[in-house]
Amino acid sequence: MESLNDFLIQKPRPLPVIVAVDRSGSMYSNGKIDALNIALKDFINSLKDEDSNKAEVHIALFSFGGDTATCDIPFASINEVALPTYQANGRTPMGASFSSIKTLIEDKVQIPSRSYKPTIVLLTDGIPTDDYESPMNDLINEGRSSKAFRIAMAIGDDADHNMLSKFVSTPEYLVTGESARDIRKFFRFVTMSVTQRMKSQTPDMLQVPPMPDDDTLDF
């Protein structure tokens, strides 16, 4: 016998999380790339553990390094992703990542309009080596992508803090770190932000969780 349920989309609304990470040569120093690989793994596992029938995290992972940016995890449910292990090398073609993220968010087949607003997560320890200004401006000011929440981490003094302060949605979403240890802390902050949205009565309102204390980290 038919019921209302037969006409509904059976999956929760997607909550998109789009991550772009730096795998340039400088990420090799002080164990940053290793910390990033571990932090990403923890991040994905933490989100997999979150269960909600109102929102399902979907993730895409981009990276920039060598001579180009790549899409390493095409947009998919958090439960379907397999993480790469990054090696650090080459330059910092961050602008190419911005273009790829923009293309993804504008695509209503991949990210339908019933989705909650995406969160874009950016982590870098350097200055973009390609033309990033136009792609970044398009990403943050134009069209559908301008609605996304944008969180960033600047690792060390060589990161372009000025550029990142323009990138983020709100000053509280720019996290600065000094060491590899801070990368894991940052991804815990992102996890808390995403899970707060999943549990919130208003998932599309800005959520700024407190930064996790160092002593809550388990090394």
Partner 1 sequence: MEQIISYIQATIPGDKPDNIPNQDYIKIFENDTIFICTVSDGLGSSRLSKDGAALACECVVDILKKENSETGFNALSDKITKKWEHLVEQNNGLIKDYRTTNSFISVFKSEKIILAGQLGDVMISLRIDGLFRHFETIEKEFSNETDCLGSGNIERYKIEKYEFGHSFDFLIATDGISDEIDPMKLEAFQNYLKNKFQDVTVEFRNSELKSEIETIMQDKNNDDKSLVYSWTNKK
Binding residues for partner 1 (CB under 8 A) = 2-9, 12-13, 53-54, 113-118, 144, 147, 201-205
Q: In what order do the strands lie in the sheet with 119-124?
A: 68-77, 55-65, 13-22, 119-124, 149-155, 174-177
| 13 vs 166, beta carbon nearer partner 1 | 13
Query: CB 142 → partner 1: shortest distance, Å?
Result: 12
| 115 vs 176, beta carbon nearer partner 1 | 115
Q: Do residues 102 and 81 lie in contact, with contact meaning Cβ atoms separated by under 8 Å?
A: no
Q: Which amino acid is at 87?
A: Q
Phi-psi group of 31: left, alpha or beta (phi > 0 → left; psi -120 to 50 → alpha; rest → beta): left
Query: CB 50 → partner 1: shortest distance, Å?
Result: 16
| 68 vs 103, beta carbon nearer partner 1 | 103
| 89 vs 146, beta carbon nearer partner 1 | 146
| 12 vs 25, beta carbon nearer partner 1 | 12
Q: Do residues 198 and 54 lie in contact, with contact meaning Cβ atoms separated by under 8 Å?
A: yes
Query: CB 205 → partner 1: shortest distance, Å?
Result: 8
Query: CB 57 → partner 1: shortest distance, Å?
Result: 14
Structure tokens at 211: 């930064």
**Helix-helix angle 133-141:94-106, to 10 degrees:** 30
DSSP secondary structure letter of residue 214: G
Query: CB 138 → partner 1: shortest distance, Å?
Result: 15
- C-alpha 198/C-alpha 204 separation (Å) is 10
Query: CB 117 → partner 1: shortest distance, Å?
Result: 5
Nearest-CA neighbor of 155 among 29, 8, 10? 29
